[in-house]
A and B are shown apart, each in its own frame.
Chain A
């Protein structure tokens, strides 16, 4: 068993199964398995998943639909967005 998404605890087998079930884009895999939606925001797993998806679909990685990168990229406390005077 290989863990691919460490934030959300998702294995290689689970990802392959999800692709076989018809979740054939990164966006769908993110929604279905929550891969890449945890604290690291996919920095460790999405490249691996892209490779797996491309291989399964027989496509080039560059031809896959890209997923939207969401701010703020790294987890930061909400208070940072608040008033400058406040802590």
Chain B
């Protein structure tokens, strides 16, 4: 590990590795990445791999749409098979009021150029033959949504970044950050101290702890989200199915396993990462209403990870008032994997060019001093 760098990135998930890659691609390779465990050991490696553009705020829709364009080219760009499947996201509802909201949201999505549409239960059943159409009133569908294998994406970013000269360090924990006159001086790890000018806080659910090291309070809170995988089956499901009312989502991976989770509105903010029996019970109950036959699938494993949740469920991006060279790239609120390809490009632009190709001022940490309009499509 080098003992100085222009930029230190804290966090080895998709955001940290994506930022490392995009910085190097823009010619800035004097970069050190620090990860306290292995790459993608946090939320990235624990998530369902969903890639959705059907959001309700302009920022999330735009970031997601731009990210999909990058996912589509990623196999060639990174030289890995990210197992990207564009089977669409089918967003279902059994609630009249929610269906009306869906129609409004589709209008906003269409205005921004997304090919989402509101469809009837019978049209939804054409997409998913196992669907219990009696239990749904309508759905929205976007074919270019889908999923990929997050670990591969991180590996691809990290490998390319390393090839270009970025110093990536696994199993290296940040213990403190030193600053002088509102500027960062160094990052102290359990191995050595690294002199640096700029720190990127890509620590996901631990971003608040990292920010505290320079005296910054973040509104982000960690929430456990549980997830499970079944045995492999023949191809039985094209899209990711999601219901925000029940907080459930599930899709079939390219290898055949069904991976899905369900949020718990009563889950307290904590660093509890244990698996629970109650989660599988709630998942199965909701699953049975949507695709009754899927209750016969065999569960193989379950695990948990953290959502890094902000008050408006949109990411926190950009420089930090008070500590001028501290850059935030966190707070995705459960959507980090799907937004990171575009976000990390913007972070690299901010550092290298001093400006971004899409304004991100409204996603700055200081937005929470005023009123913010929140994202409505969040699981749990």
Q: Enumerate chain A interface residues (CB-CB to B < 8 A).
A: 25, 27-28, 31-32, 34, 37-39, 41, 68, 70-72, 75-79, 81-83, 86
| 12 A-B pairs with C-beta separation under 8 A | A25-B38, A31-B40, A39-B300, A41-B301, A72-B280, A77-B296, A77-B297, A78-B280, A81-B280, A81-B299, A82-B284, A82-B295
Decide: A78 and B38 in contact? CB cutoff 8 A: no
CB contacts under 8 Å to A, within B270-286, are 275, 277, 280-281, 283-285
> In the docked arrangement, what's the CA distance between A39 and B283, Å?
20
Decide: A78 and B301 in contact? CB cutoff 8 A: no
CB contacts under 8 Å to A, within B252-281, are 255, 275, 277, 280-281
* Residues of chain B within 8 A of A83, CB atoms compared: 285
Decide: B299 and A32 in contact? CB cutoff 8 A: no
Q: Enumerate chain B interface residues (CB-CB to A < 8 A).
A: 38-41, 45, 151, 155, 229-232, 255, 275, 277, 280-281, 283-285, 287-288, 294-303
> In the docked arrangement, what's the CA distance between A78 and B230, Å?
9
> In the docked arrangement, what's the CA distance between A62 and B299, Å?
30
Query: Could you tell me the distance in whole angstroms from the C-beta of A14 to the nearest C-beta in chain B?
Result: 15
> In the docked arrangement, what's the CA distance between A78 and B303, Å?
15
* Residues of chain B within 8 A of A77, CB atoms compared: 295-299
Residue of B45, B255, B285 near A31 (CB, 8 A) is: B45
Given contacts A75-B231, A81-B281, A83-B285, are A70 and B301 in contact (CB under 8 A)? Answer: yes
Decide: B281 and A79 in contact? CB cutoff 8 A: no
Decide: B287 and A78 in contact? CB cutoff 8 A: yes
Query: Could you tell me the distance in whole angstroms from the C-beta of A64 to the nearest C-beta in chain B?
Result: 13
Closest to A79 in B: B295
Closest to B288 in A: A82
Decide: A39 and B231 in contact? CB cutoff 8 A: yes
Closest to B299 in A: A78
Point out which of A32, A34, A68, A79 has the most chain B C-beta atoms below 10 A from its C-beta: A79
Residue of B255, B281, B294, B299 near A72 (CB, 8 A) is: B299
Given contacts A70-B301, A71-B302, are A78 and B295 in contact (CB under 8 A)? Answer: yes
> In the docked arrangement, what's the CA distance between A78 and B295, Å?
5
Closest to B303 in A: A70
> In the docked arrangement, what's the CA distance between A37 and B229, Å?
10
Decide: A78 and B298 in contact? CB cutoff 8 A: yes
Given contacts A68-B303, A70-B301, A72-B299, are A81 and B41 in contact (CB under 8 A)? Answer: no
* Residues of chain A within 8 A of B41, CB atoms compared: 27
> In the docked arrangement, what's the CA distance between A26 and B283, Å?
29
Decide: A37 and B295 in contact? CB cutoff 8 A: no
> In the docked arrangement, what's the CA distance between A57 and B39, Å?
19
Closest to A38 in B: B300
* Residues of chain B within 8 A of A70, CB atoms compared: 275, 301-303
> In the docked arrangement, what's the CA distance between A51 and B280, Å?
33
> In the docked arrangement, what's the CA distance between A70 and B276, Å?
11
Query: Could you tell me the distance in whole angstroms from the C-beta of B41 to the nearest C-beta in chain A?
Result: 7
* Residues of chain B within 8 A of A37, CB atoms compared: 229, 300-301
* Residues of chain A within 8 A of B38, CB atoms compared: 25, 27-28, 31
Decide: B298 and A41 in contact? CB cutoff 8 A: no
Query: Could you tell me the distance in whole angstroms from the C-beta of A69 to the nearest C-beta in chain B?
Result: 9
> In the docked arrangement, what's the CA distance between A31 and B287, Å?
26
> In the docked arrangement, what's the CA distance between A59 and B39, Å?
22
* Residues of chain B within 8 A of A76, CB atoms compared: 298-299
* Residues of chain A within 8 A of B303, CB atoms compared: 68, 70
* Residues of chain B within 8 A of A72, CB atoms compared: 280, 299, 301-302
* Residues of chain A within 8 A of B284, CB atoms compared: 78-79, 81-82
Contacts A31-B38, A39-B231 aside, 16 further interface pairs with beta carbons under 8 A come to: A27-B38, A27-B41, A31-B45, A38-B231, A38-B300, A39-B300, A71-B277, A71-B302, A72-B301, A72-B302, A75-B300, A76-B299, A81-B277, A81-B283, A81-B284, A82-B284
> In the docked arrangement, what's the CA distance between A81 and B302, Å?
13
* Residues of chain A within 8 A of B39, CB atoms compared: 28
> In the docked arrangement, what's the CA distance between A28 and B302, Å?
17
Residue of A32, A75, A78, A86 near B151 (CB, 8 A) is: A32
Closest to A28 in B: B38
Decide: B285 and A75 in contact? CB cutoff 8 A: no
* Residues of chain A within 8 A of B300, CB atoms compared: 37-39, 41, 75
